[in-house]
Structure 1
Amino acid sequence: MSENTKPHSIWKVFLEALRGGERDYTSGSIRLAIVLLAIPMILELSMESLFAVVDMYFVGKLGEHAIAVVGYTEAMLTIIYSMAIGLSTAATAVISRRVGEKSEAEASETAVQSLILAALISALLSVIAVLSARHLLSFMGASPEVIEKGLGFTQIMFGSSGVIIFIFLINGIFRGAGNASIAMRSLWLASLANIILDPLLIYGIGTWTGWGLEGAAIATCIGRSLGVIYQCTVLFGGKSVIRLSVKNFLPDRKLMIHLLELAWPATFQFIIASGSWIILTKLVAETGGTTASAAYQIAIRNVVFFILPAWGLSNAAATLVGQNLGAKNPERAAQSTWMCVKYNIFFMALVTLIFLLFADFICGLFTTDPEVLSKAALSLRIIGSGFIFYGIGMVMMQALNGAGDTKTPTYINLVGFWLFQIPLAVFLTQVLKWNYLAAVAAVPIAETLVAILAWWYFRKGNWKTIEV
């Protein structure tokens, strides 16, 4: 699409983004390219977030033991999600580069090798996790009663690890090819199936009483499996830039090792950030008690929901950087990133204003306890104070990932979170004996540091010469 393309109405652009299809983002309007990529990515992330909300809504009616099991299991599944995101990031970086080079055959070969790699990792992880489920629940602190009631749920979720990895990975393949709408539709299908199946399989219908907690795991597994089946019909349908055939599924050791070299740093990016959040949650609970802990969780849930559009813009930057580097146009890659940064600053500034003005109302939707509400609103305002820097940092980090430089964001996360945020929060709460708000305040301070480091490194331009 060229810069002189006739102006698109907002509605037409929205519909075009939903219709999707692979596009060449190495020429034409950068602004339009960002919108066409970001809209389906935002909706895709919203559907993934909806998965957890729906499960917790229906499982919550089964009692505290069921809620505890879901919490323990989701915490352990973080490792699976981390690996899925790592593989997805690697696939997006390499495939977007090949598409930008107009090397569709090599892009397809990359997709094949990433799928073989995912199958091997999934099989190994699933077997180990299922056999170790009881011990893992015990390690997480689950009581014997909780383990007995929830072991089946945990084993089913662990057994379906492959579905989690595949749905993330294949979505990364489509994002790299510039077709974010397929990724969006697969999550829509998975979420819709989950919403329909959850109450049926948990509570039953008619004289059938359902499978209880295990029904929730089965519903989630079926939903995600349907999403993967839809993805595969497109991959093997022959109408995509990425064209796969069963006869082409032969391992290429060199390419798989290359993908792993890109994937492991991206995996640790997520593990580092998740680990930091877990430790901060623990510090808030220790210094503020149950009330502060509940308030913090309410604040974090709102933070995650409100920043979904920012993540969509960041993922769009990754695709644009990869394709334009493949087209030997690093300056356009940089321009695309800076434009995503500009949009993210505007959006995050708007969210900051919303939090400052309406934090009490927003948090009031989740609790009626006056003390919890007050602390949640204050926590939301504190975390929101660093949102502009957060928006800058996430675009820069994803742009580097899209360039194939997955190690630098990992190092930045390591410095910003484990070497700065956690020590700062521990010092303020444990040494100076400040209250839980000190741990909360460590969030925007660390995000600001991460943004500055990412901005500084991106400006150096070393990422422009990365070969993938």
Structure 2
Amino acid sequence: MQPTADQGGGFLIYDGNFVGFVLKHPPWRRNHTIMLRTRPPYRVAEIIHGPLDGGEPPGFAHELKRAMFGEVLSMGLPSMTGFLVASLYELINMFWLAKIGPAPVAAVTMCVTFIWVLSFPNMVVGTGSVAIISRRFGEGDLPRTEQAIKSTFLLKFGCGFLLGLLGMLILPTALRIMGASPEVQHQGLIYGGVQLGILGFAMTGYSVYTALRSIGKPREALWIQVISTVINCILDPLLIFGWGPFPELGILGASIATACAHTSVVIMGCLVLERPKCPVRVRWFRAPQPALFEMRQMFRIGFPAGINALSFSLAMSLAVKFVANYGTVMVALYGMSTKVLHFGVMAVVGLGLGTGALIGQFLGSRELHKAWLAGVLSIRLAFWIMVGFTGVLLLGAPLIVRMFFSDPSMQEPGVTILRIVALSLPFIGLHIGAETAFEGAGQNMPPMILSLVHSWFMVVPFMYIMGTVLEWGPYAVMAGYALAHVIGGIAALWLFRRGSWLKHEV
């Protein structure tokens, strides 16, 4: 796709069968933010189009951008909706547990943080599998796509089972290191024990969504998420409070409900993928069998992303410890705030996972211009979704805190903490959107390096210095968290616009 000679201040743009005219300097773009333009920088344009003769890089026809926006929505919205539904459950779960007291909320916050750290291979295999499955499907190689799905499921379940056993041994020590009080430690061992026991199913469940999105079936992934979340939401109050014939199990009931949901995802996913109408029918007990070389390739591709996730999870563990210096109530408020933020973050993650699979398919079919457009449009959507969510949180913070905690003494600090961390959300959206392109391309080293710098030279130092060293209190700890994410989002966007991910081969 090459531009013709200058014709009246514009370019003729070729994209397959369509020819469009794009102005070099349209008036409505003169003040447009360069960082979010669909027109690529010069170095990226040369990757997409080949050597240029100078001048401004070519843009894209309006019809192509509109068509690509539709494709991003068709792949991203079902995934985004599914993750929103799952995140809504997490909020509901926290809502019910908060009715018992702050200790269960603090226990779940610490357990989830520990399991994030422990299960970083989930990110390794998951990221590698997105690149491989979507590329193979984009190339039209259905047998190898089926083999990649089988390899992913087997590897995820095996890793989850072994990590769950390891986690049971070290969970008590981990809770003590994170600063849990004796009551929180007791509650955490109850909740975490069940979650670690089904970690194999939990990790495999994520691959159900990955496989369906990568073969162009995001709606099926959405419905599985909706059904599993409904199961979870129904079981939660029944088992926590002992409604009807069910026993009153407290935090154990919440953990059992979550375990049932994770297991149902794997069962439904295996059945959907085995249907004859599935674009890639996975015959679980027939050839082709899972391949060791593909598992190694997934680890190779996804290892940087795994280090990325591990680094961030360890940093968040330290963040919990910094907050724990101010007592169990502050940990509960921090946990509430992160769960509320997680609702918006997971929406953008869902959008990114759908778009990442789309980018992988375009790279597999060598349609680099479409891969670039999908990446830019995904970042725009992520940014504006987070801007809207930030506005909701800033205005609705008092109501949100009252929904979780009825204690008047927790209202003012809860509102302040929630508003501080909410300010970082648009930049978190930029960061997630930019990383999507690298994950879809299977080039995860640059995001890994950025994540290490972001976690250990920004998040941890900012929170520690502003809270512990300067003794500015818990609000300053949260301000350090927000400031680090602002800088990280800008850096991720700069990395995306360098365009190296467009050239990466799997």
TM bucket (normalised to shorter chain) is 0.7 to 0.9
Partner of 2:415: 377
Aligned match of 1:177 in 215, 229, 254?
215
2:202 to 146, 164, 181: 164
* Structure 2 residue 296 is the aligned partner of structure 1 residue 257: yes
Distance in 2 (alpha carbons) for counterparts of 1:293 and 1:65: 9
Superposed displacement of residue 59, structure 1: 4.9
The question of whether the paired residues in 2 share the 8 Å contact of 1:116 and 1:249 is answered with no
RMSD: 3.3
Query: How far off is 1:235 after superposition?
Result: 1.2
Matches within 5 A, 1:91-130: 91-130=129-168
- Report the equivalent of 1:443: 481
Alpha-carbon distance in structure 2 between the residues aligned to 1:150 and 1:454: 35
Greater CA drift, 259-268 or 245-254: 245-254
What is the alpha-carbon distance in structure 1 between the residues aligned to residue 184 and residue 330 of structure 2? Answer: 25
Aligned mate of 1:39, from 77, 84, 87 = 77
User: So what's the TM-score if we normalise by structure 2?
Assistant: 0.77
Aligned length: 445
User: Corresponding residue for 2:56?
Assistant: none
Query: Structure 1 residues 311, 75: CA separation in 2 closer, same or farther (over 3 Å shift)?
Result: closer
Distance 1:399 1:155, change over 3 A: same
Instruction: State the Cα distance separating 1:188 from its structure 2 match.
Output: 1.6
State the match for 2:59 in structure 1: none
**2:102 matched to 1:74?**
no
Residue matched to 1:275: 314
Alpha-carbon distance in 2 for matches of 1:38, 1:321: 11
2:455 is aligned to 417
Tell me which structure has the larger Cα radius of gyration: 2
Inter-partner Cα distance in structure 2 for 1:320 and 1:240: 18
Distance 1:95 1:424, change over 3 A: same
AA aligned opposite 2:307 = F
Q: State the match for 1:401 in structure 2.
A: 439
Which moves more between the two structures, 120-129 or 219-228?
120-129
CA deviations 1:382-437 (Å, max 9, x no partner) are 33333332222210011111110122212111111212221223223333333333
1:267-416 paired onto structure 2 within 5 Å: 267-286=306-325, 293-368=331-406, 372-416=410-454
Q: Distance in 2 between matches of 1:210 and 1:352?
A: 37
Q: 1:71: Cα distance to partner?
A: 4.5
- The answer to whether the 8 Å contact 1:317/1:395 transfers is no
1:461 aligns to 2:496 (yes or no): no
Task: Report the structure, 1 or 2, having the larger helix content.
Answer: 1
Once the two structures are superposed, what CA deviation does each residue of 1:70-99 show, in whole Å capped at 9, x if it has no partner? 455333322355333332222112111122
Report the Cα offset of residue 61 of structure 1. Answer: 5.9
Corresponding letter in the other structure for 2:125: L
Could you list the per-position Cα deviations for residues 362-397 of structure 1 after superposition, in whole angstroms to 9, with x for gaps in the alignment? 444434555643333333333333333222221001
Contact 2:87/2:346 (8 A) holds in 1: no
Q: Is the 8 A contact 1:104 1:242 kept in 2?
A: yes
**C-alpha deviation, 1:27, in angstroms:** 11
Q: How far has the Cα of 1:266 moved from its partner? A: 1.9
5+ residue gaps in structure 2?
1-15, 19-63
Task: Say if 1:466 and 1:125 are closer, same or farther in 2 by CA, change over 3 A.
Answer: same
Question: What is the aligned-residue identity percentage?
Answer: 26
Amino acid corresponding to residue 394 of structure 1 in structure 2: I
**Unpaired runs of at least 5, structure 1:** 5-25
Which shifted more, 166-175 or 423-432?
423-432
Q: Deviations over 1:8-59 (max 9, x none)?
A: xxxxxxxxxxxxxxxxxx9981111122122211221123224434444555
Q: 1:320 to 1:429 in 2, by over 3 A?
A: same
Deviates more, 1:152-161 or 1:38-47: 152-161
2:36 counterpart residue number: none
CA contact (8 A) 1:93 1:319 kept: yes
